[in-house]
Amino acid sequence: MSKVWTTPHIYSLIPGLLICLSQAYASNKHVVVLSSDGPVVLGGTITMRADLYMRDGSRPSGVFIYSWQDSSPRQHKYKTEATTNTTSFWEISYPAHEYNAGTYRIDVTVKERFLLISLLDFGNNSTEIEVTDFLNGNMTLHQPNRTVVNDCVSSKSDTKIQIDLRKGDYDYIAHKATSISTFWFVDCKFFGQSPNFTFTYNFTEPDKTHVVEALIVASYEPPVTTTTLAPTTVAPPTTTLNPNTSTIMPNISTTKPPITVITPATVVTESNTNPTVAPLANHSFPFVCLNSSIISPDPNKTYGYFTKEIKVKAPISNLTVDGTSWLQPWEMVSRNVSCKGSGPFHKCLFFHRGTYNITGNETCGESDQLESCKFAIVRYFLEPGLYTIVVVLENDVSKQIQPLLITVYSATKKPQLSVIIVPVSCSLAAVILIVFGVAYYIQSRVRFTVEVADFDFGQNNPEMEYKTFRERLRDSFNNTLRPGGDRISGYEPLNKPLLK
């Protein structure tokens, strides 16, 4: 037997269907991102923000209703009107006389109108916020023409120390406080006070560490007229928000009444370049130099305590480069670089063909770390031409960029002078010796005459054909010495032959 569905039965199923549809609709497609600009001081205002997204990162379209609430004992609640905005803000504060400092939970639920008759759950989210006893912000360091990183400051420049209060905290004390003073301490020595959250000091000794403390005191008591200076208006400092907070902020009024700043007559502050500590008679400060036990904080005042450890370093100076910059192809360039300053140092080299004009924006993607500022540049150049080696040298407080021009030339080899002079000289000497030798030989031939006896043994003599050589020689001597023949000078002819 089949069941008959009547109209009441159908209507009774609609809520359940809508609930199932709503749950499936909200869980599969949508994201609610919740953020804040906290933490916040007691009495200050914190701004919550909810952003709606689809799973693919796009913004949804539709009509939405945002429901906010917190987990405080006196629960705060807030519900928006139906809106097409995909961003919703909620401002909430926790007065000091009603709440204690601590962690509070914030919840937001978003519904989307469906078919003009019902609301579907779009999504929800929750987060925790911190409510503090102290003013929230940061102590920042500033020096001319550079960004301070790693809390390292240069010993060659003044350092501006500034307290950047969170905007909600600043707005609170600016509207409510009757006086605001900032007391400054360096290494637990008091250096006076300022009304504008800034202090300038020159840390002249490199490779030293200093602790800077600032104590902000906001009083809500009527100022003492006998020690009150002329009213001055404090300009709002630069605010810092939570990185997770988007740049879209609600319209918050920034109109602030003038703030009277009370300067104690006993405080004297001299030049910050060589500051002198002036004793503050009969005054003690809570929180400073861990002196929280010296004096109990006044419950009628709001304090802000900030501290930072500052490292002082000397910038890079006296950058020198030695070595030759004229090379031939395949010769090795060897340049030694040295400088003064505080380490560690980071260096990198860039090689460019031709001349290069530095821009000042050269940075090292990957650098070598050096403990001392001494290193060598070694490189071979294969082809003639002009080359530029760009040296980028950094430490924590400065950067030096030095271009080095290298000229690689190809020269024609010429023989040395000695190679020409020695052979020519030797050749001339040899020619001169030969000439003198020939001349001497000719002169010697003319000076000495050699007489040679002419013995003609070739004549035919029939009488001597039968005689031997010895016999013929004997007869010749006999004929020579015979009377009537030729005489030898100084001898008389003999009557008989000398030889037989």
Q: What's the CATH code of the domain at 352?
A: 2.60.40.2410
pLDDT digits (tens, 9 = 90+) for 390-420: 999 999 999 999 999 999 988 766 666 667 7
Percent of the chain with pLDDT over 90: 48
Q: What is the mean pLDDT of residues 37-54?
A: 95
Q: Is 216 in the same domain as 326?
A: no
Q: What is the mean pLDDT of residues 249-264?
A: 32
- Please provide the size of the chain in residues: 500
Q: Is 143 in the same domain as 262?
A: yes
Q: Is 244 in the same domain as 307?
A: yes
Q: What is the spatial distance between Cα 338 and Cα 340, in angstroms, rounded to a whole number? A: 7
Q: Which helix (H) or strand (E) holds 69?
A: strand 64-70
pLDDT digits (tens, 9 = 90+) for 53-77: 999 999 999 999 999 999 998 899 9
Query: With 70 as the cut, is the pLDDT of residue 171 above it?
Result: yes
377, 408, 439 - which closes a domain: 408
Q: Identify whether 187 is part of a domain.
A: yes
Q: Is 157 in the same domain as 259?
A: yes
Q: Is 216 in the same domain as 252?
A: yes
Q: Is 217 in the same domain as 119?
A: no
Spacing of C-alpha 436 from chain mean position: 81
Query: With 80 as the cut, is the pLDDT of residue 84 above it?
Result: yes
DSSP state of 132: E
- What range does the domain containing 189 cover? 137-313
Confidence of residue 49 (pLDDT cuts 50, 70, 90): very high
Q: Identify whether 425 is part of a domain.
A: no
Q: Is 297 in the same domain as 167?
A: yes
The sign of the torsion formed by the CA atoms of 243, 247, 248, 252 equals positive
Predicted pLDDT at 104: 97
Query: With 50 as the cut, is the pLDDT of residue 300 above it?
Result: yes
Collapsing DSSP states into helix, strand and coil, what is residue 201? strand
Q: Is 287 in the same domain as 159?
A: yes
Q: Is 463 in the same domain as 397?
A: no
Q: What is the spatial distance between Cα 113 and Cα 40, in angstroms, rounded to a whole number? A: 34
Q: 118-127, 254-263, 486-495: lowest mean pLDDT where?
A: 254-263
Structure tokens at 280: 């503050």
Q: 6-20, 234-248, 432-446: lowest mean pLDDT where?
A: 234-248
Q: What is the mean pLDDT of residues 304-323?
A: 94
Tell me the Cα Rg of the chain. 57
CB-count burial class (<10 Å; 0-12, 13-18, 19+) for 390? middle
Query: With 80 as the cut, is the pLDDT of residue 176 above it?
Result: yes
Q: What is the mean pLDDT of residues 137-156?
A: 94
313, 340, 362 - which closes a domain: 313
The sign of the torsion formed by the CA atoms of 12, 14, 16, 19 equals negative
Structure tokens at 66: 């945002």
Q: Is 214 in the same domain as 309?
A: yes
How high does pLDDT run on average in the chain? 78
Q: Identify whether 491 is part of a domain.
A: yes
Q: What is the spatial distance between Cα 380 and Cα 327, in angstroms, rounded to a whole number? A: 10
Domain count, the chain: 4
Q: Is 321 in the same domain as 303?
A: no
Predicted pLDDT at 333: 87
313, 340, 359 - which closes a domain: 313
Q: Is 169 in the same domain as 295?
A: yes
CB burial of 326-359 (b: ≥16 within 10 Å; e: otherwise) equals ebeeeeebebebebebbbebbbbbeeeeeebeee
CB burial of 122-157 (b: ≥16 within 10 Å; e: otherwise) equals bbbbebebebbebbbbebbbbbeeeebeeebbbbbb
